[in-house]
Structure 1
Amino acid sequence: MTAATRPPFVRLLAFARPLRAELLVAAAAGAGATAAGIALLGVSGYLIARAAEHPSVTALTIAVVAVRALGVSRGVLRYVERLTSHDAAFRVLGDLRVGLYRRLARIAPHGLRGFRSGDLLARLVSDVDDIQDVIVRGVLPVAAAALCGGVTVTACAFLLTPAAALLGAGLLVAGAVVPWTLGRLARASARRATAARGDLAARMVDVFSGARELIAHGAEDRALAELARADAEVVRAERRNARAAAIGAGLAVGVAGLTVWGVLVLGVSAVSDGTLGRVPLAALTLTALAAFETVSPLPAAAVRLAETTSSARRLTAVLDAPDPVHTPATPPPLPETPIHVRVRDLWVRYGPQEPWAVQGLDLDLSPGRRVALVGPSGAGKSTVAAVLLRFLDPARGTVTINGRDMTAFAPDDVRRVIGGMPQNPYVFDSTIQENLRLARPGASDEALRSAARRARLLDWIEALPQGWNTPVGTHGAALSGGERRRLALARALLADPPVMVLDEPTAHLDPGARAALTADLLDATRGRTTLLITHDLTGLDEVDEIIVLDHGRPVQRGSHQDLAHRPGPYARLTAWATA
């Protein structure tokens, strides 16, 4: 059985493998604490019953010492069990989160197209948190119950065999049959509960991130109503799970009560027959009562573990998301600069059954050459950028770096020589300096100033009251659209890749800001290998070649002077832009 075909629950337990020694200590301490509790009640029953016979004090000494020792050891062992089990659980959660983040970093952005951002957040937070129940409320209590239950039944068998058999049957029903039944019944509702939590998180993120647009279009009431409906569904699902847990707890208590009464009846009958003494009867009955402490948490745990299984399935869906790019096992080192990128007969699509996003594109990015890729929205321009940055692999055709197929190189290595500015650059809730330093963490202050100067940001930054330490707010809310774009450009210039890909650098800006940013951008990339992806035709007379895409197909190519006077899509775009 391969890793991908194992049950999700089992696959996630593999993250606990390095902590086996700590988990064994927790299991032993938990079993010891439970056994001490059972023995404490049994010895206490013996002590009380024996004391009622008024023996000498010396006859009770061993029992008194045992009660004290068991009481202290129970607390100490329970503390050790809680400390080690929770430490192991939190370490597993940390390792699991790191593993998930690494997986997301590998497949982002195009490998995440099937996940909503809020739902993905719920998987990384609440679904991962659910996994701690696998250890704390799943594996360890079951191990302690099996061990202590067997020892207790064996000990009771020395006093009265029929009572021990009845106790064993009761423990089996309360600790195995009831939890298994509840787990089966709760499985469907657990799936609905975890899916509802994910939907609620996704809607909540959408509402908060799009609050301005919702208010501007008067759609906030409808969005809040949908959010309330999602919240009500979560509440209904949680109530169903709580009801199942309550029913399980009630059944376990009922089985425990009936079993203890049965043991008492058998014990009284044995006392009447003279086969059992009164003092052993007290010890037997109280031991049977204490034995159910081992299985009392299991019905509720079974319901919780049903939710955990559903959470595990959602987490493994992230781990199993297909790679949008091939990562070679032994990638070669990247060639030395200058870098020459050549694209031949490129065909790309996002899935086997999806339409072609790019069809038959040829592209030459020789050192120092600047090429513009233009066309309407949905023409496939950003798909070309995704291929060059190794976020997608070609379905057909080739992309070579200095004559070698790009897919032979590691994706991160490719991004060291082909970088730039994405269509929607992310600005973190930090300072201007920290956002810029992301491109090169070890960059000197002079390098930061140089990149900001070339992006025409330096004078503005130095005029701010806090200068480089100015907070930019969530998603860069404290900056204007042009300032965010210039910050992203400065970040790309600081990274200084040999080949720069600029994807819609003037998107969402007013005409004046677009013209100013385009002029500065063309000035900053002079003499640098650049692919400019844009639907804005301003300044394209300065690039070496323009390629016009339409529905993924290259329909025109040439210089601005040639295309502007030639009938076709570019001339129509030029006429529309100047109208």
Structure 2
Amino acid sequence: MNVTLRRLIRLAWPIRNWMLLAALLGSCTIISGIGLLTTSAYLISMAALHPSVAALNVAIVGVRFFGIARGGFRYLERLVSHRATFRLLARLRVWFYSALEPLIPAHLLEQQGGQQSELRSGDLLRRAVSDIDTLQNFYTRVLAPPLVALVIGVLMWIFFGCFGIVFGLIFIVFYVIAAIGVPWLAQLLGRRVSREIVSTQAELESQLVDSVQGIADLIAFGQEERQAQYIQTLNGKLRRLQMTSAYVSGMQGGLSNLLMNLTAWTMLLVAIPYVHQGSLNGIFLAVLVLGALASFEGVMTLPAAFQQLGGSLEAARRLFEVVDAKPAVSNPAAPSPTPINQEVRVEHLSFRYAPGEPEVLRDVSFTVPQGRCLMVVGPSGSGKSTLAHLLLRFWDYQQGKISVGGFPLQNYQQDDLYQQVSVVEQDTHLFNTSIRENILIARKGASEEELITAARQAQLHDFVMSLPDGYDTRVGEQGLRLSGGERQRVAIARAFLKDAPILVLDEPTINLDAITERAILDAIKALRQRRTTIMVTHRLVEMEMANEILVLQRGQIVERGSHTSLLKEKGLYRRMWQQQHGSANTPIQA
């Protein structure tokens, strides 16, 4: 059995009782349909002989019972199977998100066939929503229906065998071909197509998301026509695949109907001589034919289900591909220690993103005492942001040691570590909700007074109050209704509200104009008071607030000291300072 198929079945194990109940109700539905047709055939055949009404009473009651029962059982079967499946799909979404969360951001690059390919936001969305929805077909159409087909096949084989061994043999031969042969053929012809449909849809959705997010750049560089053409190509490929799938569906539907009618005709042709010989009552002739037709309802859905099996397995493979990825970091088994202070110490730290790649950081050591401020500066690509991410434990380092509060970083549960640290990043993500909700992410239980105090400290309150809806103003997708400086103030307000003892700032004033930058730095100076602060920046502004400055170049510390002492050394720091303040034009090598 396919490994992916086995894993899908294991995922469905918690709802096995529901699936068995759905299969039982589905069997009762088809049995009621068979009973309705066969009883009706018997009633009409008997009525043609003009017997007394009393002789027809049982058949009349049977028709009424089976007619009502079929509708009731069908309703219950749909209710049970879909409720169980939707519950399972809801659990699968939580399961997938829980597995995805530890992988970000370290595993936004994953290995596929020995090559790295980026998991784009559109592709992740496709996996989290559409691929899981695709599994609905597997759980509702692949698991329970074969059980229903098996139950109906056995019961009807016994039923027809009661009229003669030859009738049971005719039925079981055609039924097995329809139940196994046609689905196998449909799965064989549709496996590749259904898998390609899933992968093509995933690529199309990823391209659409990328196009929407980057529409301004596409228009600015005149590439919108090229992108539209590529999307049209993908759309055409998807349309051709769907047409091929439709042809396969038509073929399997035709074969199933052909087998059903061949069964009925064969039953009729074989039964007629028996009636002439008197070994079979002619009343049961229509019963055999209509019973054979009705019994095929148990297998009519199987070919379509197995045609889509390839798509379900491809969707599951894409989910397992993410879930099976090993997290870059893992929580320790023991509870987190209680920090004895808020000191941050880094000793002989070295790091590379993957084996065989060059080291991004080499032998970095420093200490930030409690309540002190350290600034890390250097040219682009020198390892500044990597150092900040290691302090937040997005990755685990290969050599050296990082201690927070007197204990190694790996000794902390990640949630406990984040309780100790506030972060203001260069790309602040704002959710498409109100300013209030975006600030309260830092501490959901905060009062209105605490919220306003944090906004005031971040120099955000006056701006918010100038808006018509105040703190209930929606910020739009990715906060695009706010300027860059306003988004950064929201991030700083979050840090004030969280009130963590350690503060990490990663390029908090990048891409801001001078006036906005000055206002943000004023807010940061207030924020860093009484907090252990590490600020990563390449903008040498307000450097006097740092107790110590580290200068990184090619992953190594090349200079360290105060702002005044570093200017006197006439090294890299001084050249960067002169460049940014218009005193020199010497290029700087990273």
Show the counterpart of 2:57.
Answer: 61
Show the counterpart of 1:211.
Answer: 215
* Shift in Å, 1:533: 0.8
Residues 1:412 and 2:412 aligned together? no
For 1:201, which of 184, 201, 205 is the aligned residue? 205
Show the counterpart of 1:549.
Answer: 552
Deviations 1:314-359 (A, max 9, x none): 11112112201021223334325x2222111222233334433222
* Shift in Å, 1:546: 1.5
For 1:98, which of 94, 101, 104 is the aligned residue? 94
Deviations 1:13-52 (A, max 9, x none): 4343333333222221111001111122122222222222
Instruction: Measure the CA separation in 2 of the matches of 1:378 and 1:186.
Output: 49
What pairs with 1:496-575 in structure 2 (closer than 5 Å)?
A: 496-575=499-578
Deviations 1:246-284 (A, max 9, x none): 221112112222222222221123223332221122211
Q: 1:274 to 1:377 in 2, by over 3 A?
A: farther
Residues 1:471 and 2:491 aligned together? no
For 1:230, which of 213, 225, 234 is the aligned residue? 234
Instruction: Measure the CA separation in 1 of the matches of 2:516 and 2:556.
Output: 30
Q: 1:8 to 1:377 in 2, by over 3 A?
A: farther
Residues 1:493 and 2:530 aligned together? no
Instruction: Measure the CA separation in 2 of the matches of 1:334 and 1:305.
Output: 52
Deviations 1:78-127 (A, max 9, x none): 00000111111110111111111222222222223341110110111111
Deviations 1:192-251 (A, max 9, x none): 111111111111111111122222222222222222222222222222222222221112
Show the counterpart of 1:261.
Answer: 265
Q: 1:487 to 1:6 in 2, by over 3 A?
A: farther
Tell me which amino acid in the other structure corresponds to 1:384: L
Instruction: Measure the CA separation in 2 of the matches of 1:400 and 1:303.
Output: 56
Deviations 1:160-194 (A, max 9, x none): 21121121111111111211222133222222111
Structure 2 residues not aligned, in runs of 5+: 111-118, 583-590
For 2:139, which of 123, 131, 135 is the aligned residue? 135
* Shift in Å, 1:478: 1.3
Q: Helix, strand or coil for the counterpart of 1:426?
A: coil
> How many corresponding residue pairs?
574
For 2:445, which of 418, 425, 442 is the aligned residue? 442
Tell me which amino acid in the other structure corresponds to 2:461: L
Show the counterpart of 1:334.
Answer: 338
For 1:482, which of 485, 501, 504 is the aligned residue? 485
Instruction: Measure the CA separation in 2 of the matches of 1:356 and 1:456.
Output: 40
Instruction: Measure the CA separation in 1 of the matches of 2:356 and 2:83.
Output: 46
Contact 2:339–2:406 (CA under 8 A) maintained in structure 1: no
Q: Helix, strand or coil for the counterpart of 2:374?
A: strand
Show the counterpart of 2:116.
Answer: none
Residues 1:379 and 2:375 aligned together? no
Q: Helix, strand or coil for the counterpart of 2:342?
A: coil
Q: Helix, strand or coil for the counterpart of 1:110?
A: coil
Q: 1:241 to 1:329 in 2, by over 3 A?
A: farther
For 1:24, which of 10, 16, 20 is the aligned residue? 20
Instruction: Measure the CA separation in 1 of the matches of 2:175 and 2:381.
Output: 65
For 1:242, which of 228, 231, 246 is the aligned residue? 246
Contact 1:389–1:419 (CA under 8 A) maintained in structure 2: no
Show the counterpart of 1:361.
Answer: 364
Show the counterpart of 1:298.
Answer: 302
Show the counterpart of 1:271.
Answer: 275
Show the counterpart of 1:80.
Answer: 76
Contact 1:385–1:501 (CA under 8 A) maintained in structure 2: yes
For 1:165, which of 151, 164, 169 is the aligned residue? 169
For 2:10, which of 4, 8, 14 is the aligned residue? 14
C-alpha RMSD over aligned residues: 1.8
Tell me which amino acid in the other structure corresponds to 2:100: L
Deviations 1:141-176 (A, max 9, x none): 111111111101111011121121121111111111
Instruction: Measure the CA separation in 1 of the matches of 2:232 and 2:557.
Output: 48
Contact 1:267–1:276 (CA under 8 A) maintained in structure 2: yes
Instruction: Measure the CA separation in 1 of the matches of 2:564 and 2:196.
Output: 61
The worse-fitting range, judged by mean Cα deviation, of 483-492 and 562-571 is: 562-571
Contact 2:191–2:308 (CA under 8 A) maintained in structure 1: no
Show the counterpart of 1:577.
Answer: 580
Tell me which amino acid in the other structure corresponds to 1:433: R
Contact 1:326–1:393 (CA under 8 A) maintained in structure 2: no
Contact 2:27–2:151 (CA under 8 A) maintained in structure 1: yes
Instruction: Measure the CA separation in 1 of the matches of 2:322 and 2:491.
Output: 29
Deviations 1:457-506 (A, max 9, x none): 12212222222112211111111111011111111121111111111101
Contact 2:382–2:555 (CA under 8 A) maintained in structure 1: yes
Structure 1 residues not aligned, in runs of 5+: none
Show the counterpart of 2:122.
Answer: 118
Contact 1:482–1:513 (CA under 8 A) maintained in structure 2: yes
Q: 1:381 to 1:202 in 2, by over 3 A?
A: same
The worse-fitting range, judged by mean Cα deviation, of 145-154 and 541-550 is: 541-550
Instruction: Measure the CA separation in 2 of the matches of 1:116 and 1:190.
Output: 22
Contact 2:343–2:369 (CA under 8 A) maintained in structure 1: yes
Instruction: Measure the CA separation in 1 of the matches of 2:335 and 2:362.
Output: 28
Instruction: Measure the CA separation in 1 of the matches of 2:2 and 2:415.
Output: 30
* Shift in Å, 1:403: 3.1
Instruction: Measure the CA separation in 2 of the matches of 1:477 and 1:577.
Output: 29
Q: 1:176 to 1:56 in 2, by over 3 A?
A: same
Instruction: Measure the CA separation in 1 of the matches of 2:218 and 2:237.
Output: 23
- Percent identity of the aligned residues? 38
Contact 1:15–1:95 (CA under 8 A) maintained in structure 2: no
Tell me which amino acid in the other structure corresponds to 2:63: V
Q: Helix, strand or coil for the counterpart of 1:509?
A: coil
Q: 1:551 to 1:52 in 2, by over 3 A?
A: farther
Instruction: Measure the CA separation in 2 of the matches of 1:377 and 1:242.
Output: 54
Instruction: Measure the CA separation in 1 of the matches of 2:87 and 2:367.
Output: 49
Q: Normalized against structure 1, the TM-score is what? A: 0.95
Tell me which amino acid in the other structure corresponds to 1:432: I
Contact 1:246–1:300 (CA under 8 A) maintained in structure 2: no
Tell me which amino acid in the other structure corresponds to 2:559: Q
Q: 1:352 to 1:41 in 2, by over 3 A?
A: farther
Q: Normalized against structure 2, the TM-score is what? A: 0.93
Q: Helix, strand or coil for the counterpart of 2:298?
A: coil
Instruction: Measure the CA separation in 2 of the matches of 1:258 and 1:473.
Output: 62
Instruction: Measure the CA separation in 2 of the matches of 1:547 and 1:452.
Output: 31
Residues 1:286 and 2:290 aligned together? yes
Contact 2:138–2:305 (CA under 8 A) maintained in structure 1: no
Residues 1:429 and 2:425 aligned together? no
For 2:348, which of 332, 345, 348 is the aligned residue? 345
Contact 2:41–2:290 (CA under 8 A) maintained in structure 1: yes
Q: Helix, strand or coil for the counterpart of 1:293?
A: helix
Contact 1:427–1:484 (CA under 8 A) maintained in structure 2: yes
Contact 1:519–1:539 (CA under 8 A) maintained in structure 2: no
* Shift in Å, 1:380: 1.9
For 2:399, which of 396, 399, 408 is the aligned residue? 396
Q: Helix, strand or coil for the counterpart of 1:414?
A: helix
Show the counterpart of 2:588.
Answer: none
Q: 1:159 to 1:17 in 2, by over 3 A?
A: same
Contact 1:9–1:313 (CA under 8 A) maintained in structure 2: no
* Shift in Å, 1:6: 7.9
